[in-house]
Each structure stands twice: as C-alpha cells, then as structure tokens.
Amino acid sequence: MFKNRRKIQIEWGDCDPAGIVFYPQYFKWFDACAAALFAAAGFPRPDLVETQSIVIPIVDTRCRFLIPSRFDDELTVETAIARFGRSSFDVHHRILKGADLAVECWETRIWTRIDPTGPERLKSQPIPDAVIRALSQGGQ
C-alpha cells in the first residue's frame, strides 16, 4: 500500500498539566495525516471539497496509546490505507518515537458528498477507481 510519512514536533500547548500530550490532540494529527495521505497520492483535500464537494467523515476509530510523549519530542506518523470497501475505507496510522511504536490508530471513513438539499446534507458515494488505484500501489 501507498504510505505517507509526516514529522510532528510536540508543542507546549499540546500538553496537559501532567506534561504529556493531551490525547485529543493525536486525533487532530491523524485527521491531518489522513488528508496528507490523499494529497500525496494526488488527491488534495481542497480539490476534493471545492470541485467535487467530497469530504471523508470518520465513522469509527480505535486508538492505542503505548508511550506518552512530552513537549519538544519529535514523532513520525506513518499513514496508509488498510482496506477499501465500496464507499468506506480504513486508514491506519502508526506514530513512531525513534524506532518505537508510541501510538497506533485505525479509522473507518466514508467517501461522502456534501448535499445541501438532502435531509442529512451528507451522502455516501462509491470511491472512484482512480483513488483506489493510486492509494493501493506501493510507493514512497
């Protein structure tokens, strides 16, 4: 699978009074890393949203926190697709602290069109073949 990597530097404001990353912050990074994965494969989020009204809301996530991180730590996030369904797909994130796995997360997201006139305003769509192809091939 196509994989993308991102560096994260932990800032003071990412941490709580115990001096470690306040865990909701990890999900902000995961969301940005999911977008970065699509961008690296040729599908930047702004294009998806603005030209096709496509967003990728999350419906399920599981996350294991193995090693706490402190401010000024530098982490690496590795992100790849773990599974493609018809309109749903799974994203897998691994946060590495040096060589050690610090946090691991799985997400299920839906390929969704913003539909301003619909009752729910969001409507799932089949994932385009071009997206599946680009993100299924080895690379990076």
Q: Rule CB under 8 A: is residue 83 a binding residue for a copy of itself?
A: no
Question: Do the beta carbons of residue 55 and residue 48 sit within 8 Å?
Answer: yes
**CA 10, 15, 20, 26: dihedral to nearest 10 degrees?**
-60
Which member of 1, 3, 5, 32 binds a copy of itself (CB under 8 A)? 32
Q: Rule CB under 8 A: is residue 16 a binding residue for a copy of itself?
A: yes
Residue 73 CB, nearest distance to a copy of itself (Å)?
9
Which member of 7, 18, 100, 119 binds a copy of itself (CB under 8 A)? 18
What is the C-alpha separation between 110 and 81, in angstroms, rounded? 13
Angle at 58 (CA atoms; ends 10, 82), nearest 5 degrees: 80
Which member of 2, 4, 8, 35 binds a copy of itself (CB under 8 A)? 35
Question: Do the beta carbons of residue 99 and residue 114 sit within 8 Å?
Answer: no
Which distant-in-sequence residues (6+ apart) come within 8 Å of 19 by Cβ? 70, 71
Q: What is the DSSP string of 90-110?
A: EEEEEEEETTEEEEEEEEEEE
47 is catalytic: no
Which member of 2, 4, 15, 93 binds a copy of itself (CB under 8 A)? 15
Which member of 1, 5, 63, 123 binds a copy of itself (CB under 8 A)? 63
Count of chain residues binding a copy of itself (CB under 8 A):
41
- The binding site for a copy of itself (CB under 8 A) comprises 11-13, 15-20, 22-25, 27-28, 31-32, 35, 44-46, 49, 55, 57-66, 68, 70-72, 114, 120-122
> What positions carry a catalytic annotation?
16
